[in-house]
Amino acid sequence: MAITISVVSHGQADLLAPLLDQLRLAAAAVPMQVIVTLNLPEERPAAASAPGFELEWITNPAPQGFAENHNAAFKHCRTKFFCVLNPDVRLGVDSLSPLVACLTRLPGVVGPRVVSERGDIEDSARRVPGPLRLLARWWHRRFEPDYSPMVGEQTVDWLAGMCLMFDIDSYRAVGGFDEKYHLYCEDIDICLKMHLASRHVTWVQDAVVVHDAQRTSHRKLRYLIWHIGSLLKLFTAADYWRFRFLSERAQG
The CATH number that applies at residue 73 is 3.90.550.10
Q: Using pLDDT thresholds of 50, 70 and 90, give the confidence band for residue 136.
A: low
The pLDDT, as a whole number, for residue 217 is 47
Measure the CA–CA gap between 169 and 239, rounded to whole angstroms.
Answer: 20
Instruction: Choose among 74, 79, 87, 14: nearest CA to 53.
Output: 79
Query: Taking the model in full, what pTM does it have?
Result: 0.92
Query: Which residues, other chains included, contact 150 with Cβ-Cβ below 8 Å and sequence gap of 6+?
Result: none
pLDDT > 70? residue 25: yes
Residue 167 is part of which domain span?
3-250
pLDDT for residue 251: 76
Question: Does 192 score more than 60 pLDDT?
Answer: yes
How many structural domains does the chain have?
Answer: 1
Please state which of the ranges 39-43, 54-58, 72-76, 194-198 shows the lowest mean pLDDT. Answer: 39-43
Q: Tell me what the pLDDT averaged over the chain comes to.
A: 90
Asked whether 73 and 35 are in contact (CB, 8 A), the reply is yes
Q: Of how many residues is the chain composed?
A: 252
Q: What are phi and psi of 12, to 5 degrees?
A: -115, 45
pLDDT at 153: 97
**Is the model's pLDDT at 140 over the cut of 70?**
no
